[in-house]
Structure formats: structure tokens, C-alpha cells
Amino acid sequence: MIAKRLQALKALDYKVGASIPGGVSLDGKRFDLHYLYKELDDRYHPSIRRSYGKPGLYQIQESEKAKNQRLKLRGYRKEDRPFLNKAASHLNVIRGIAGGVFEGTVPWSPGTYEEWFDKREVFPIVCEDESIGEPVGLVDLSKLDPDVMQHMMALGMYVRAEYQGLGVGTLLMDAMKILAKRLHLSRVMLTVFEGNAPAEKLYAKAGFIKCGRLPGWLQEGYINETYMVLQLD
């Protein structure tokens, strides 16, 4: 049935951009999860054409590295949010989250993250620098809606600009794997914007593999997204 649906969509000029191995669980069996897209023809003329998300446009800014840091992992607290929002709005961080799409803001509305946290739809881990008593990085696992994907969650992560390259990301990734196993997950997936080489390198080191790419993430002219997955079983 799934193969026939996929064949029918391909006949309508849909293309498979990314495939997550074993991403769907149905009746005790595993099936690949396919993300498809369709290239629109000349009849579609978007009024907005922006290219500001292209790789290399946002250069990394000089940021003085934190010194004498004492890093520790802990659970998320609601009072962390202002510090993490400030960290996320720095250009060196936002370029990894969305290549400038959310420049000057954060990709969630006030109170939304706390709502997800209260409903146990997101499971965050914080890295704190004890020398300043503030969170300097976060990794979280978010639930995916379909019941057939309860064995898989999506990963999100960012690290404060002055702490990038100091091992925070590696600490968070190691903690994420432990959390994923405690949540009985068999897959963790993520997307990373094309051109974010440091993030891709970190994810690959943690065991994530590339599963494909979807072009034109938002509109024509926007940056592509690479899909990656970590298999835990």
C-alpha cells in the first residue's frame, strides 16, 4: 500500500528529498519515512524572492571565548528562558538555527516553549557554566505528532556564541543519547541548514547520518535543509 502511494506521488512529479530509515512503526513493522517535494512550474510566481539565507552570506562574527568555565549538565528551569532567548538571538547562533530567517528574534512566541515543556512535548537538557551561574547551551528532544512515529523524536540544539568550540555541544549530544534511551526511542532526527558545516560535523561525530535534502525550505531562493538521523537500535 505504501509503495503504491509513493509510486502514485512520483507519477505526479513529486520527488523524494529525504528518507528516514525505519521512521514509521505500524502493526509491529518498521517502514521508511519519506519527505517529498514538488518543483513548481512557471505558473507560480512568488512575490517574495529573498536569497539572504544562502550559505556564506552570514559570516561568523568574532566572539571572545569564555574563560575559566566550569560546565555542568542539569535539567531545564523556566527561569532559564530569558538567558537562552538572548543566546539564540546572537548572529553566530541564529545562523545555525535558521541562517538569518529569524534574525533579531527567536523561533518561538513567548510562553510557547514553557507550554511544550509543561505538556511533556519537549524534553530539554541545559549546560550551565557554574562560574557565572547561567545556562550556556541547550539540547532538547521534541515529540512528533503522528502515533506511528512515537519511537522517534526531533532534536534541537544551540550553544551560546562565546561557548562554541569549547565542548558544550559534545557534552549536550552525549546527554541527549542517554535521554533518548530513557525515553525508549529508536530514532532521533534533525535538520540542519545547508552551509552550517560546524553543526554537521558535530552531528556526524555523534553518529547522525545524512538522509537527504529538501530544497527551498521556505520560499524560492531560501536555503536548503539537510535531514539527518541517529539510529539507536
Residue 70 pLDDT? 96
What is the tally of helices (H) and strands (E) in the chain?
6, 9
Q: Residue with C-alpha cell 534541537?
A: 156
How far, in Å, CA of 78 to CA of 48, rounded?
Answer: 37
Domains and CATH numbers, the chain: 69-231 (3.40.630.30)
- pLDDT at position 77 is 95
Distance, CA of 125 to chain centre: 15
DSSP one-letter code for 59:
P
DSSP state, residue 222: S
Instruction: Name the residue type at position 174.
Output: D
Instruction: Quote the pLDDT of residue 196.
Output: 77
With a CB cutoff of 8 Å and minimum separation 6, the contacts of 91 are: 58, 61, 100, 103, 161
pLDDT recorded at residue 104 = 55
pLDDT for 10: 85
Instruction: Judge whether 185 and 229 are in contact, CB under 8 Å.
Output: no
Distance CA 35, CA 16 (A): 6
pLDDT of the chain, 233 residues: tens digit per residue: 667 888 888 888 889 999 999 999 988 889 999 999 887 766 656 555 555 455 555 566 778 899 999 999 999 999 999 898 888 777 677 655 544 445 556 666 678 889 999 999 999 999 999 999 999 999 999 999 888 899 999 999 989 989 999 999 999 999 999 999 999 999 999 998 777 788 889 999 999 999 999 876 554 456 678 999 999 98
Q: Which three cell numbers stand for residue 83?
A: 538567558
d(CA 110, CA 198): 29
- Please choose, from the candidates 141, 122, 137, the residue with its C-alpha nearest in 3D space to the C-alpha of residue 180: 141
